[in-house]
Amino acid sequence: MTIDYEDFERVEIRVGTIVGAREFPRARKPLYRLTIDFGPEIGTRESAAGLPGRYELDQLNGKQVLAVLNLGPRDIAGFQSECLTLGVPDAEGQTILVVPTSEVPDGGRLF
């Protein structure tokens, strides 16, 4: 399926820095609860992410990631996930985070 460029522009993908990561034992599948700082204009957002198979909690704080901000909140086991942290599967199906290759200002929009 092909989409128009205008459709792509409506998806708000921004970079943020993980400032908090904790276990999420209430979730059915292994997830972490992330707090991501998207800079002073946007602030922080919470996200549930399926990362425990590939990342330890101490590896996540300070890591910049890409996330979709305008999907609206999603209730996951009583937790409001406010953005979708982006990742791709590795050969074993574990999530690898989509990250910038150099440090960039938080809040920058993917184009």
Complete DSSP assignment for 8-66: HHHS-EEEEEEEEEEE-TTSSS--EEEEEE--TTT-EEEEEE--TTT--GGGTTT-EEE
| Pair 44, 106: CB distance under 8 Å | no
Q: Is the pLDDT of residue 74 over 90?
A: yes
Asked if the model's pLDDT at residue 28 lies above 90, the reply is no
CA angle 29–31–33, rounded 5-degree value? 145
- What local confidence, expressed as pLDDT, does residue 27 receive? 87
* Residue 66 or residue 29, greater confidence: 66
**Average of per-residue pLDDT across 35-42:** 98
The strand pair at 32-37 and 74-76 is best described as unpaired
Instruction: Identify the domain containing residue 31 by its residue range.
Output: 10-97
Residue 106 lies in a domain: no
pLDDT of res. 16: 98
In a domain? residue 74:
yes
**Using 50, 70 and 90 to split pLDDT, how confident is the model at 78?**
very high
Identify the CATH number of the domain in which residue 38 sits.
Answer: 2.40.50.140
Q: What angle do CA 30, 84, 78 make, to 5 degrees?
A: 55
Total number of domains in the chain: 1
